[in-house]
Amino acid sequence: SRFETCWPALMKDSHGVIIIFNPELPSHLKEIEMWFSCFVQQQPLLDSQCLLVAHHKPGSAGDTENLSLAYPLNKVKLIHSNLEEDPEDVRMEFMKYFRSIVTIINETREREEMSIIS
């Protein structure tokens, strides 16, 4: 939290937020609620502009795969990353996420241009 003074600068004009956490640490599950609140809800960004990544370390227990998060985090896309087993899968999910952000940016820009014209 010593970086909290920097948060407004980080948030300024941001179009998306990716929150990466360790699903095996209960403290992380509490912290991602705080990150989501500060970086997504207070901006405000759409749920679709946020991506949650549950990162599994090599050799970690796999039983966190059916992780169920509480509201409002359960409305956000959650992917599981395990770079040993399926790096390609994670890459595909990131590409889909970035494409959706670019679409949102383009739509916003078009709306702004139209409002200037009219």
What is the distance between the alpha carbons of residues 57 and 77, in angstroms, rounded to a whole number?
Answer: 20
The CATH label, of 3.10.450, 3.30.499, 3.40.50, 3.30.60, for the domain at 10-117 is 3.40.50
Question: What is the pTM (predicted TM-score) of this model?
Answer: 0.83
Q: What is the pLDDT of residue 63?
A: 58
What is the distance between the alpha carbons of residues 24 and 93, in angstroms, rounded to a whole number?
Answer: 21
| Largest distance between two CA atoms of the chain | 58
Per-residue pLDDT of the chain in tens (118 residues, 90 and over written 9): 567 788 888 888 889 999 999 998 889 888 999 999 999 998 889 999 999 999 988 777 655 667 888 899 999 999 998 877 778 889 999 999 999 999 999 999 999 999 998 7
